[in-house]
Amino acid sequence: MDQEKYAIVDIGSNTIRLVIYTRDKSGRLAETENVKAVARLRSYLSASGKMEKEGIDVLIQTLQSFQEVTRHHNLKEVKCVATAAIRQANNQEEILEKVKEKTDFSIRILSEYEEAHYGYLAVVNSMSFENGISVDIGGGSTELTFFQNRKLIYFYSFPFGALSLKEQFIKSNTPTAAELKTLRAFLKKQFQILPWIQNKKLPLIGIGGSARNMAQVHQEHIEYPLAGIHQYVMKDKEVQLVKNMLLSMNFAEIQRVEGLSRDRADIIIPAIEVFSHLMRCIDTDTFALSRKGLRDGVFYAELMKDYDEGLFPSVVEESFRDLAIDYDVNLEHAAQVSENAVMISKEMEKNKAVTLTPEDMHYIRYGSAVYNLGAYIDADASHQHTFYLLANRTIDGLLHKDRLIIALIASFKNREVFKRNASLYEEWFTKEELAKYSLFGAIIKLAYSLNTTKRDIVEEIQVNFDDEELLLKVYCNSDWTPEEYQAEKQKKHLEKQLKKPIQFQFVASS
């Protein structure tokens, strides 16, 4: 059966990109093709604001090459949107007519508001931040949004981007000290006009190729052990580290930097100056990268019309629903395991055997919902596959550290395997935190054993904790012999964590 496909052509000031999305079995649109051309249309805008013939020719030639791909995939309707370079051209009607005449595409020029709004939609539907300021720096414009409680409050579009800043302030491929001083003074003056970004102390969320490249350079520099850059977080000192590292190099060295696209080598420093100055204005120490941007926002707006204001009620809940569908998780079984784990945890907290924060309860609930997920690949090595899949798959709504925590507890086999999985990330956690997550893993493993036949027979669990032992009273609505056998077999992992023996009392629920 043919898969449902969607495509969008994004005509930016620096690059033109064709992205094809295929709807997977969970209903999510997954990016399956991504073709980029470095057109630098902004460079073809004359002083009078007219797009020169050479620039129009580059645009049409690029779109004609893209239509070979869209025709191959039999895509009849392709969204084609343009941003600052076409928006700022005073001969845009001529551009639109020629594109319509010579290609399969009809260009829709996005307004400043639309460009900012689509970026905002992409962020709030794929990240965990309730409040924040987003920045999408393209080649010829820079869009800022301020959102609060996931609602767009303010937006602003500056008529400059990484490419136009380079053209205006930097004569060669790398800036001189004097050029940097002038650029910085310009940016400081520009950002001062927006009172709603001053001293907000909110995360700055970067969208677009320049932000992505900065994050990739940092990951390569520190040999980052996890896959993926969506929701990657950098501190101010790390942004400064990347900037200073690039400033210390000549252009040939910059072009060879791992993680940096060669076509961005001459514009990455102006872009990072924008991020750095914005962080100073906002007074924030958090820069987070959104892999999702304008193109994703366009689809969110269209495909989520049934949701309030085009927003997922919960980004992370939607992500775990997708995980469950993608890996054939038995949803009823997962819900029962999660309920068992939550009951045990709350009872242990009531008996002062453990102290739990609301965040801890999220880890337990999500970790138990995907426990043993790796059995989808191989039941014999399910714990290894569970850890790898969860640690290295982007999960919208979870920062990288949170994703790793859930991977550690959902893949818990025994304390030794847990330590082995955590060994590469020991600097991320304190010993106390690792001990706590290991305990959560043992609780979930026991909770899983209490639904070993997937009959959902456990209705209530009570815990009594004293100096001698831990007593679990398990109320069941059916014969519990298989569950009792499995629980007795697996209780040793929790006993080791608590340093106390565990006794079970299985009783029929009334």
pLDDT in tens for each of the 510 residues of the chain?
Answer: 467 888 999 999 999 999 999 887 777 778 899 999 999 999 999 999 999 999 999 999 999 999 999 999 999 889 999 999 999 999 999 999 999 999 999 999 999 999 999 999 999 999 999 999 999 999 999 999 999 999 999 999 999 999 999 999 999 999 999 999 999 999 999 999 999 999 999 999 999 999 999 999 999 999 999 999 999 999 999 999 999 999 999 999 999 999 999 999 999 999 999 999 999 999 999 999 999 999 999 988 877 776 666 788 899 999 999 999 999 999 999 999 999 999 999 999 999 889 999 999 999 999 999 999 999 999 999 999 999 999 999 999 999 999 999 999 999 999 999 999 999 998 999 999 999 999 999 999 999 999 999 999 999 999 998 888 999 999 999 999 999 999 999 999 999 999 999 999 999 997
Token couple for 373:
């997920």
Q: How many residues does the chain have?
A: 510
Note whether 5-109 and 112-297 share their fold: yes
Q: Where are the domains of the chain?
A: 5-109, 112-297, 316-508
The span from the CA of 441 to the CA of 361, in Å, is: 12
Half-sphere exposure of 81 (CA within 13 A, CB side): 18
CA dihedral angle for residue 92, residue 96, residue 102, residue 107, rounded to 10 degrees: 130
Q: Which of 281, 130, 115 is nearest to 207 (CA)?
A: 115
Token pair, residue 196, equals 């709603």
Q: What is the model's pLDDT at position 24?
A: 77
The pLDDT, as a whole number, for residue 23 is 82
Please, are residues 458 and 486 in contact by the beta-carbon 8 Å criterion? no
Q: Which CATH architecture has domain 316-508?
A: Orthogonal Bundle (1.10)
Check if the beta carbon of residue 5 is closer than 8 Å to that of residue 20. yes
* Nearest in space to 207 (alpha carbons), one of 86, 280, 292, 132: 292
Per-position b or e across 282-301, b if 16+ CB within 10 A of its CB: bebbbbbbbbbbbbbbbbbb
CA–CA separation, 210 and 443 (whole Å): 43
> Any idea which fold 5-109 has?
Nucleotidyltransferase; domain 5 (3.30.420)
Radius of gyration of the chain from its Cα atoms, rounded to whole angstroms: 26
Greatest distance between any 2 Cα atoms in the chain: 85
* CATH number of this structure's domain 112-297: 3.30.420.150
Cα–Cα distance, 260 to 208 (Å, whole number):
13
Q: Given this model, what pLDDT does residue 330 score?
A: 93
Helices 415-422 and 431-449, packing angle to 10 deg = 130
Phi–psi pair at 32, nearest 5 degrees: -120, -20
